[in-house]
Amino acid sequence: MIGWAEVISAQSFIYVRDHENKEVSGAHVFLTPLDNSKSVYEITDYSGKIKNTVSSRARIQISFIGFQNMIDTISSGQDFTFQLEPDPGELNEYTVTSNAVPTRIQESVYKIRVIDRARIDGQGAQNLRDLLTNDLNIQLSQDAVLGSNIKMQGVGGENVKIMVDGVPLIGRLDGNIDLSQINLNNVEKIEIIEGSTSTIYGSNAMGGVINIITKKNQHHNLEGNTKFYYETVGTYNVDARVGWQFKKNFLQMSGGRYFFDGFNTTDSIKRLMLWKPKEQYFGEVQYNRSLGKLNLRYSGNIFHELLESKGTPEAPFYVTAVDQWFRTIRSTHGLFLTGYLAKNHHLDLTLSYSFYERRRQTFRKDLVTLDQLLTDENIDVFNQVMSRGIYNFNKPGSRLSIQAGYEVNYETAQGLRIENQFQEMADLALFAAAEIKPVGIWSIKPAVRFGYQSKFDMPVIPSIHTRLSPHKNLDLRLSYSRGFRAPTLKELYFLFVDVNHNVYGNTKLQAENGGNINGSITYTNKKIKNIEFGFSAGGFYNDVQNQIRLIAVSITPDSNIYRYENIDRFQSVGAQATLNFSWRNLFLGVGATYTGVINSISDSAIGTNDYKFYPEIQTNASYNFKKWQGKLNVFFKYTGAQPFLYTEYDETLQENMIREGEVAEFGTMDISYIQTLFKNKLQIAVYGKNLLNITNISQTGANTGGVHSSGSSVLPTMCGRTFGVSVAYNFIVSKK
């Protein structure tokens, strides 16, 4: 026993603490002996320590996400304690979307775009739609009831996968998640990968992924904030967050209420709103527990929205009207286990359950007494259980790293508007990838996915990505990825009919198959005296067979009629270039894209089967008034005329034919000023949004004369010029 005690007492340790002297679990420690003997790589345990195993003097390097890297020297047989200094900007240099293991964005074989919290606040973005309005290669459209939707690289609908911390959101009504339902109050950053990522993320990811990453840690024992936002268009928002970190635990709660009065471009009938009034409530709770080198996290959230669609007063006395209420409930619960099983062996496990309910209620309202009678009600319920596991073996300095994983999805749909009132779908997939470094500057990552789909045959889905870094600031990337997407339960079996819409499912739909090529060259920020600059340029090509589209059968002021259809082939091709420049307190970013799309339908289709090109131009600028802690931001984007599909009845052929029309060009411009006071505890911001006063833009059908002339209509796009103000208060309590 005495001998064992002597061994224990002879051990020495290296302790890693943060700036508040709290243990840092999961920090990466590299020990390089100065006598050129073998290097050592360790990860700190739950108490923030590793054994000091060096036999002589050694160089130590410590790194951890959110903190500045630290380099020093140590000797053998002694205890050492090192404190890391926070570096909030460092968080945005890492990605988890592409690899599960936190990886520097510059070192990833994927081309990743990050939107940080500063950009979110600078735009005054209240939801994901507000934020992405200014992004290149992303086009948004709006429906009064179904909400906003997205296209990326010309590819849209179900082909863009939207996730929160890796968990896919459910509740697509027109092939898209309503982006205005995704609030950003607790978001740390957003990672975007353009192009097919079906090998890792499966169906719905043929056009790319948007991963919303929430705040999961903090540097103080108790942190929180509350924010009030008002906009002249009739927006009144309030939200709050509080987080408590104690020992190996982290508990966080957030929530809020967002209210929109509704907006109309005319004043003819006050109760008729083109942009419908809506009220949203949301809440979230997270609990993290450190388990040595692993972290266990639970996340649960709920969202409720009430949207009111008020009808026209009825003749002859105009004292009654038919109103409709649309209630949306979305809730997601997830368990996450991440961290290192052993040195170099990383595990990421996710298990989630998602619930979505869409309730439509129809009322006959007495406009004199304001009494209302419920005359009809429809409830549609969707459930999804998902599990994904990813194992990574990644040894620093090795020429080979390995990734393997699985994904299971099971989804159900039930309701009166679902065929047979109940449908289900399941898929199971396995995937694997290996990143090979033939030489230090070159990485190649082949990957493959295969599996089972309960309603459609799932093909083998391969991909290959490569990255070449001939200089520390220069990266060249090239990738080819296949993609597959099975029609969703909504596209197959859903029937959505109300006073404003008719959306029809189609049980004869075929699965989509496609391919994507992406290439880019990136020069990261180079600093010359007080000047920093960087640029990126690239191109893409998408080819999708049997693409499923929600085709507009007709669009009128009274009713929009849509049907899900396969088109023979969709192709998009484009080029993009961006330039960033900063000098002292001034930042300027300029970017442009030129995208062409082909909607190949049939030889008899009018206005199709040729590339239709449209440009986008983006400019972002900001200036920091460091002396008084203020920041001025300007955002501008121009989008050229784009093609869209619709159908019309051909009297010669005696059938409905799919046609191609054009959505007019438009531009948007926002400006903001943010002032922080009392050591960042109070933040006041003023916003000018849509200063070019865009409301509705025209969309024109193919005009060939006779029965093929469909005329034109308008597409609601934005709520016109508006101004806003926000007041946010942040508080911090640290243990003495």
Domain boundary among 212, 246, 279: 212
Do 102 and 75 fall within a single domain?
A: no
Do 179 and 299 fall within a single domain?
A: no
Q: Return the DSSP state at 359.
A: E
Nearest to 195 by CA among 210, 178, 212, 185: 210
Do 153 and 277 fall within a single domain?
A: no
Domain boundary among 54, 86, 118: 86
Do 655 and 575 fall within a single domain?
A: yes
Give the Å distances, CA to CA, from 487 to 83, 156, 204, 631.
Answer: 53, 14, 9, 46
Q: 687 with 698: CB under 8 angstroms?
A: no
Q: 157 with 179: CB under 8 angstroms?
A: no
pTM of the predicted structure, to 2 decimals? 0.87
Q: Where are the beta strands (DSSP E) in 40-120?
A: 40-43, 49-51, 58-63, 70-74, 80-83, 94-95, 103-104, 112-116
Do 404 and 499 fall within a single domain?
A: yes
Give 10-residue mean pLDDT values along the chain (736 residues).
Answer: 43 83 78 80 80 85 79 86 73 68 80 90 92 88 73 83 93 80 92 89 87 86 93 96 89 96 74 88 95 91 94 89 94 95 91 95 93 92 96 88 96 90 95 93 95 94 95 92 90 72 80 93 81 92 87 58 79 94 92 90 54 93 91 95 75 70 90 92 95 87 38 74 96 70
Find the CATH number of the domain harbouring 185: 2.170.130.10
Ramachandran angles phi, psi of 719, nearest 5°: -90, 20
Do 130 and 273 fall within a single domain?
A: no
Q: How many CA atoms lie within 13 A of 396 on its CB side?
A: 12
Do 62 and 152 fall within a single domain?
A: no
Do 236 and 365 fall within a single domain?
A: yes
Locate tokens 């990421």: which residue?
348
Measured between alpha carbons, how far is 672 from 684 in angstroms, rounded to an integer?
11
Find the CATH number of the domain harbouring 13: 2.60.40.1120
Check whether the bond before 316 is cis (ω within 30° of 0). yes
Do 428 and 576 fall within a single domain?
A: yes
Ramachandran angles phi, psi of 462, nearest 5°: -100, 165
Q: 583 with 531: CB under 8 angstroms?
A: yes
Number of domains in the chain: 3
Structure tokens that stand for 691 in this block: 């200063």
Structure tokens that stand for 244 in this block: 């408590």
Do 77 and 101 fall within a single domain?
A: no
Model pLDDT, residue 631:
94
Do 628 and 669 fall within a single domain?
A: yes
Domain boundary among 26, 55, 86: 86
Ramachandran angles phi, psi of 576, nearest 5°: -145, 145
Do 518 and 556 fall within a single domain?
A: yes
Its domain, for residue 191, covers: 89-212
Model pLDDT, residue 426:
96
Model pLDDT, residue 359:
93
